[in-house]
Structure 1
Amino acid sequence: MIRTEWLREDEVLAIRPDGEIDDDDFKSVAKVIDPVIARRGRLEGLLVDARGFQGWDDTKALIAHLRFVHAHQPKVARIAIAGDQWWLRAAPMMEPLYGTPIRTFAASDQDAAKAWLLESEPEPPNVAILPESRGDVVGIRVTGRLREDDYDAMQAELTRRLPQDGKLRLLAIIDDDFRGWTPKACLDDIAMAFSPWRDRVGKLAVVAGPGLVRWCAEHFPRGLLPYPLKVFEPAELDQAWEWLRA
């Protein structure tokens, strides 16, 4: 079985597997967190207390576990895992795949695990609409590691702002702490560039410091884009806004 306990209501949850777990256990956990994710968009923190975990009841349970992780990990802001099993130390390797920060703690360090979840400031959205946005001129700030949910939310917001008989002029600020994409988000990024969205953009300004994103923006074949693209230094933010609004 898997016991659940809210460490902070509707924000930080502790799950405690006890003995061997089966596929119905994951359905029970999903019933606890899915309504919260539906309301809030994500779970702020998850503590996995693995001290009593003794494996899976059968292969069906293992598959249910993998499916649960795939469906829910991108929607959790941070995950702490407490336990002394040697293989738990490999859990942080999942961070590049789903973009969720993961830290492991010894079974005796449960208080430290809880503190990391409860005392850390909530992470800002990976894609945020800038308050300077007006009408068909929309600015976004990109930070952290982009997940597929970030693209879903961004497309929904841009669709809402799309003029009925016009195009959007977009400003994308790439923060210094931008950490790239999860694999699925990377595919979403490429697909968006060549989807019907390419005809809904009138101009694109990219503001970025030195790095891969800036290099790719500067060297992207302009002939593949039906709209002008211009790259600016972070110190040229005002010029980027002016170029879009001209």
Structure 2
Amino acid sequence: MIHFRLSDSGVLVVQPSGPITSEDFTAIQDQVDPWLESGGKLKGLLIDAPDFPGWKDLAGLRSHFRFVRDHHREIPRIAVVSNDEFLSALPKLARHFVKADFRRYDAGETAEALTWIESPPEPRLPSIRHSWFPAEQLVWVTVDGKVTTEEYKHFLSHIEAILAKHSPVSFLVNFEDLEGVELGALIKDTKFGFTHIKDIKRMALVGDSKWIKRLTSLPNPFSLEIKSFDEDQEHQAWNWITS
């Protein structure tokens, strides 16, 4: 069960009090969607769950991720107030909010979390963001907007540091919001690919663009496993690449 409220400032506050059901997200959607359609704008989502109760059944889990997928573009900030490590570190939840700034607060810090959500916006996030999951030997990359040469150079410096210690690793790359790539970044990407081909075990490419599917269908003389997934198949990409 979920208790929720939509504040006057546009913050959706969600408080799970028991196992989450599909009906919970239907109720949230019935209030949030008409408000958005009438011109309202969400400032953020605050999940206040000192002890995460989990989902009642598979339908509840599916409804959760469907709601996240359908609304992530309208939510610029997410704050999780919880001491539950599963909720605060759940990569499949945090990852879906590709355009959001995500922060965790300890239980009892609800006021601090709300203050952060309602504070003025910060400078835009870089077009390339990544997360490193050492247990899965996986780098999760999201691309948003146009990739500049400088941003890609900065991104590669982090990735090469990871490869130097943990090779080989796998990559899950989401191109859902890619708007373009500068020539200099493309050149660096080509050089990186040939230099580190042996350091990459598997690569999952997520996005509906035709060029992604063409890329994965090309002959592959290397040992690298590469596979494409549609935008709504991110969880399958995660399962495949970590299997």
TM-score by length of 1: 0.51
Alpha-carbon distance, 1:85 to partner = 0.7
State the Cα distance separating 1:18 from its structure 2 match. Answer: 1.2
- Cα contact 1:26–1:65 (8 A) shared by 2: yes
**RMSD over equivalenced CA pairs, Å:** 3.8
Q: In the alignment, what sits opposite 2:63?
A: 64
Which secondary structure state, in structure 1, belongs to the residue aligned with residue 19 of structure 2? strand
Deviations 1:183-236 (A, max 9, x none): 3112xx36xxxxxxxxxxxxxxxxxxxxx74614789xxxxxxxxxxxxxxxxx
User: Gaps (5+ residues) in structure 2?
Assistant: 129-143, 156-172, 189-243
The alpha carbon displacement at 1:40 in A equals 3.9
Partner SS, residue 185 of structure 1: strand
Distance apart, 1:61 and its partner CA: 0.8
Q: 1:184 pairs with 172, 176, 191, which one? A: 176
**How far off is 1:31 after superposition?**
1.5
Q: Is the 8 A contact 1:92 1:101 kept in 2?
A: no
Contact 2:51/2:84 (<8 A) preserved: no
The AA in structure 2 aligned to 1:106 is: D
Question: Per-residue CA shift, 1:149-186, capped at 9, x if unaligned?
Answer: x98xxxxxxxxxxxxxxxxxxxx997x88999953112
> Cα–Cα, structure 1 residues 215 and 49, in superposed 2: closer, same or farther, change >3 Å?
same
Structure 1 residue aligned with 2:103: 103
Written as runs of structure 1 = structure 2, the 5 A alignment for 1:8-157 is: 9=8, 11-40=10-39, 42-51=41-50, 53-91=52-90, 94-95=94-95, 98-118=98-118, 120-122=119-121, 144-145=126-127
Paired residues, number:
156
User: Any conservation in 1 of the 2:75–2:99 contact (CA below 8 Å)?
Assistant: no
Tell me the amino acid that sits aligned with residue 177 of structure 2.
Answer: A
Residue 60 and residue 173 in structure 1: after superposition, are their counterparts in 2 closer, same or farther (change >3 A)?
closer
**1:103 shift after superposition:** 0.5
Aligned residue number for residue 215 of structure 1: 184
Deviation at 1:47? 0.5
**Using a 3 Å threshold, how does the CA distance of structure 1 residues 22 and 111 change in structure 2: closer, same or farther?**
same
- One-letter identity of the residue aligned with 1:17: P
SS at match of 2:88: helix
The residue type paired with residue 2 of structure 1 is I
Q: Please give the alpha-carbon distance, in whole angstroms, between the structure 2 residues aligned to 1:96 and 1:72.
A: 10
Structure (1 or 2) with the larger CA radius of gyration: 1
Task: Give me the whole-angstrom Cα distance separating, in 1, the residues matched to 2:175 and 2:91.
Answer: 16
Unaligned runs of 5+ in 1: 127-142, 152-171, 191-211, 220-246
Amino acid at match of 1:28: A
Identity of aligned residues (%): 28
On the 8 A contact 2:72/2:96 being kept in 1, the answer is no
The structure-2 alpha-carbon separation of the partners of 1:92 and 1:78, relative to structure 1 and needing over 3 Å to count, comes to farther
Query: Structure 2: how far apart are the matches of 1:42 and 1:182?
Result: 25
Distance 1:121 1:144, change over 3 A: farther
